[in-house]
Structure 1
Amino acid sequence: MTHTDIHAYLAEFEDIPGTRVFTAKRARQGYHLNQFAMSLMKPENRERFKADERAYLDEWAISEEAKLAVLARDYNALLDMGGNIYFLSKLFSTDGIAFAEAVSTMTDMSWPEYRQMMLDGGRSPEGVRSIREGR
């Protein structure tokens, strides 16, 4: 695979509707955001964060846009900014929210609807499979 081919290959990941593939580019983009999220593994950091979320966030080299997305718990925006879902799960846990319930907020479904869809076997493979081609 040539240098040009790898960029074309990686660009294909952006064509998957509703999915953000965690690539090296996203890892670099979201490094500080993910480090913040991982800091919440320590009880003393969770307590400091819960006491004053904005002050805790201001200690991190994260963009203002990312800080606002954390405060709003806008997980889709955080994923777009390079957040890793497994690192962001530390934020869900800090809020006392189960992983599946937090993930349901990233869809157009309520938690009960999302839960039932998953119990019924997940999303249908039918539907839009390519953003670019609209199919």
Structure 2
Amino acid sequence: MRKAQDNYVLDLAQNRKGLALNRMCGSLKHAENRKRFSEDEAAYCDAYGLSAEQKQAILDRDWTGMLDLGASIFYTFKLAMMDQKSMQYLGGVFTGMTTEEFAAALRSGGRKFG
């Protein structure tokens, strides 16, 4: 997987771009929706009107691709939880680290700026 860019900002334009994607991921907070999603992921994506690119990113679990397509990490995490992935896992994906490396970086004080 490729590393995410360092400056994702969920501004109004990105929010609009990812509206369907974020709604779909957000819907996974309900058990019945998680069940429906698990039964047919592609059809579930279609029901939310995802673009072809957004749908493919979901099906491929292309986490950085989802961000490029307007996803919010907070909604994307609901999908990651479906795959039993932690926030540390996603942090690793987005920084080009393993989950363990990312967790160790957090324990040591995280990324330093300056």
Instruction: Tell me which protein shows more helix as a share of its residues.
Output: 2
TM-score (norm. length: structure 1): 0.75
Helix, strand or coil at the partner of 1:67: helix
Note if 1:94 corresponds to 2:88.
no
d(CA) in 1 for partners of 2:64, 2:33: 24
Residue in 1 that maps onto 2:37: 49
Where do 5+ consecutive residues of structure 2 fail to align? none
- Structure with the greater alpha carbon radius of gyration: 1
TM-score (norm. length: structure 2): 0.88
CA shift digits 1:5-61 (9 cap, x unpaired) = xxxxxxxxxxxx512111011111111111101110110110111122112112121
Note if 1:106 corresponds to 2:84.
no
CA shift digits 1:52-71 (9 cap, x unpaired) = 21121121211111111111
Note if 1:34 corresponds to 2:22.
yes
Where do 5+ consecutive residues of structure 1 fail to align? 1-16, 127-135
d(CA) in 1 for partners of 2:9, 2:49: 23
d(CA) in 1 for partners of 2:41, 2:83: 12
Helix, strand or coil at the partner of 2:94: coil
d(CA) in 1 for partners of 2:7, 2:64: 10
d(CA) in 2 for partners of 1:31, 1:75: 16
Residue in 2 that maps onto 1:80: 68
Q: Which amino acid aligns with 1:102?
A: L
> Where does structure 1 differ by over 3 angstroms across 4 or more consecutive aligned residues?
none
Q: CA deviation at 1:107?
A: 2.0
Tell me the matched-pair count.
Answer: 110
